[in-house]
A and B are shown apart, each in its own frame.
Chain A
Amino acid sequence: MVQLHLSGGEPVVRKDLPELIRHAHSRDLYTNLITGGTLLNEEMLRQFRDCGLDHIQLSIQDTDRRTAELVAGIRSYDKKLEIAPLIKKLGLSLTINVVMHRMNIDHVPALITQAAELGAQRLELANTQYHAWAEKNRNALMPTRAQLDQAEAVVFEARPRYQGTMEIAYVKANYYSEHPKPCMGGWARSYMVITPTGEVLPCHAAHVIPGLHFDSVRDQSLTTIWAESKGLNAFRGESWMQEPCKSCPMKTIDFGGCRCQAFMLAGDAAVADPVCSLSPHHDIIQEAIAQAEQGDGRFIYRDSRNSERLSIRPLEPASR
């Protein structure tokens, strides 16, 4: 094991975070904190650094305050801009993460300039992945093809200017891709997610697929789970594949795409990701793109009332 990402929700709410960082550091794991930054202060940052934190990924919604706070649902714009220089001051290295959608994607030039000014060594511009709440808000979030082409051109133009000082990572818009993405580098090939209750998943979203059994670090060692978990083995390798994946030369590159997306859109986690042009369900993607060009849609915020109404499965087991 090489890297540990302390992610969420918001990982900073955990009282034992310093202890987790200290332990990860003692085991020589490269330790990342992925945070919204709104609950951080200088004292906490200093403590995390002294415990051995290597890196912070700070999410920023937009360079435009109004849309930033519209998407966040809270007033967080100023706080994030205050926290970034503190991270730099304490000598921690910084990635600025921006999840992109139709309202902020035209601001990529300003986002790049701002990240450089804030002292980020890395900027990650990632198009929204339409899982969970993003899926419910897809019509309000999905950019048009023209917007995406423009943003990509800006990134390609900017990269050489920042080479050696700031890396600009760009995660393509999944629905518009010709081929599906190798989700998580393939199911349970390189990554695992450990939930707050101790369950070991291949990705954050895997709970959407019914009928999978995942094991807990409370019962077994991580090594045993990694090798033997039924849930992790369910879509590992290629034996689960059907056509068009089974005989596809791309199968060792994209691994059939995203299992969660296949289930959410096509109702079967073992079929090709509908993003793939060879998928028999590809019309679902084309329809979503056509809707995005229309550009209508209002936000559905993540709150307890909407959660109940839409009965979105929480990450914790339902019995809790």
Chain B
Amino acid sequence: MGDPAADASAAWRPRLAPRARLRWDEVEKRYMLVFPEAALMLNETAPEILKLCDGEHTIEGIVDSLVQRFAGIERKTIEEDVTSFVARIRARGLLEG
């Protein structure tokens, strides 16, 4: 792993850490990211980002995929969303690669 404090570069291929699990919650009708002693309730786009954190997709690839999926939202906006979300999850040690 590189410098964890550095911004995620476009070529990085993040992978969700084994201790974190993306799960659909039937009660809340939302996705949550579950990890030891905690869970994050996710908005609509976050699960789509996390599903692509598979060690195959680069950050750029994730952005490309979301641009196609969410037509009508500017690429720049999506790029910012992905970068900031990934950085936050990475700082909690929940992304590898």
> Which A residues lie at the B interface, using CB under 8 A?
2-3, 28, 30, 32, 54-55, 57, 91, 93, 95, 121-122, 124, 160, 163-167, 169
Jot down 29 A-B pairs with beta carbons below 8 A, ordered by A.
A2-B25, A2-B32, A2-B34, A2-B39, A3-B34, A3-B39, A30-B21, A30-B23, A30-B35, A32-B36, A32-B37, A55-B19, A57-B36, A93-B17, A93-B18, A93-B19, A93-B36, A95-B36, A95-B37, A121-B17, A121-B36, A122-B19, A124-B37, A164-B4, A164-B90, A165-B4, A165-B93, A167-B93, A169-B37
Q: Does B5 contact A (CB under 8 A)?
A: yes
Q: How far is the CA of A54 from the CA of B37 in the complex (A)?
A: 12
B4 touching A54 by the CB < 8 A rule? Answer: no
Across the interface, which residues of A come within 8 angstroms of B93, CB to CB? 121-122, 163-167
Of B36, B39, B90, B91, the residue contacting A55 (CB under 8 A) is B36
Across the interface, which residues of A come within 8 angstroms of B92, CB to CB? 164, 167
Q: How far is the CA of A167 from the CA of B38 in the complex (A)?
A: 12
Q: How far is the CA of A32 from the CA of B21 in the complex (A)?
A: 13
Across the interface, which residues of A come within 8 angstroms of B25, CB to CB? 2
Of A91, A122, A160, the residue contacting B36 (CB under 8 A) is A122
- Output the residue of B25, B37, B39, B90 with the most chain A CB within 10 A: B37
A30 touching B1 by the CB < 8 A rule? Answer: no
Query: Digit string of B57-86 for contact with A (CB within 8 Å is 1, else 0)?
Result: 000000000000000000000000000000
Task: With both chains docked as a complex, state the minimum distance between the C-beta of B35 and any C-beta of chain A, in angstroms.
Answer: 8
Across the interface, which residues of A come within 8 angstroms of B23, CB to CB? 2, 28, 30
Query: Please, which residue of chain A has its CB at the minimum distance from the CB of B89?
Result: A164
Q: How far is the CA of A55 from the CA of B37 in the complex (A)?
A: 10
Task: With both chains docked as a complex, state the minimum distance between the C-beta of A33 and any C-beta of chain B, in angstroms.
Answer: 11
Query: Please, which residue of chain A has its CB at the minimum distance from the CB of B19?
Result: A93
Task: With both chains docked as a complex, state the minimum distance between the C-beta of A195 and any C-beta of chain B, in angstroms.
Answer: 21
Query: Please, which residue of chain A has its CB at the minimum distance from the CB of B92?
Result: A167
Residue total for B at the interface (Cβ-Cβ under 8 A):
19
Beyond contacts A2-B25, A122-B93, A164-B92: 8 other A-B pairs, Cβ-Cβ < 8 A, are A3-B34, A30-B21, A30-B34, A30-B35, A30-B36, A55-B19, A124-B37, A166-B93
Q: How far is the CA of A3 from the CA of B40 in the complex (A)?
A: 12
Across the interface, which residues of B come within 8 angstroms of A91, CB to CB? 18
Of B5, B19, B91, the residue contacting A54 (CB under 8 A) is B19
Across the interface, which residues of B come within 8 angstroms of A124, CB to CB? 37
Task: With both chains docked as a complex, state the minimum distance between the C-beta of A49 and any C-beta of chain B, in angstroms.
Answer: 10
Q: Which of B38-53 contact A (CB under 8 A)?
A: 39
A121 touching B5 by the CB < 8 A rule? Answer: no
Q: How far is the CA of A122 from the CA of B34 in the complex (A)?
A: 14
Q: How far is the CA of A211 from the CA of B67 in the complex (A)?
A: 60
B91 touching A163 by the CB < 8 A rule? Answer: yes
B36 touching A163 by the CB < 8 A rule? Answer: no
Task: With both chains docked as a complex, state the minimum distance between the C-beta of B18 and any C-beta of chain A, in angstroms.
Answer: 6
Q: How far is the CA of A68 from the CA of B4 in the complex (A)?
A: 33
Task: With both chains docked as a complex, state the minimum distance between the C-beta of B86 and any C-beta of chain A, in angstroms.
Answer: 12
Query: Please, which residue of chain A has its CB at the minimum distance from the CB of B23?
Result: A28
Across the interface, which residues of B come within 8 angstroms of A30, CB to CB? 21, 23, 34-36, 39
Q: How far is the CA of A124 from the CA of B18 in the complex (A)?
A: 19
Q: How far is the CA of A210 from the CA of B9 in the complex (A)?
A: 58
Top 7 nearest A-B pairs (CB, nearest first) are A164-B4, A93-B19, A30-B34, A55-B36, A164-B93, A2-B39, A163-B4
Across the interface, which residues of B come within 8 angstroms of A2, CB to CB? 23, 25, 32, 34, 39
Q: How far is the CA of A28 from the CA of B19 in the complex (A)?
A: 14
Across the interface, which residues of A come within 8 angstroms of B17, CB to CB? 93, 121
- Output the residue of B17, B23, B36, B90 with the most chain A CB within 10 A: B36
Task: With both chains docked as a complex, state the minimum distance between the C-beta of A146 and any C-beta of chain B, in angstroms.
Answer: 29
Q: How far is the CA of A278 from the CA of B78 in the complex (A)?
A: 49
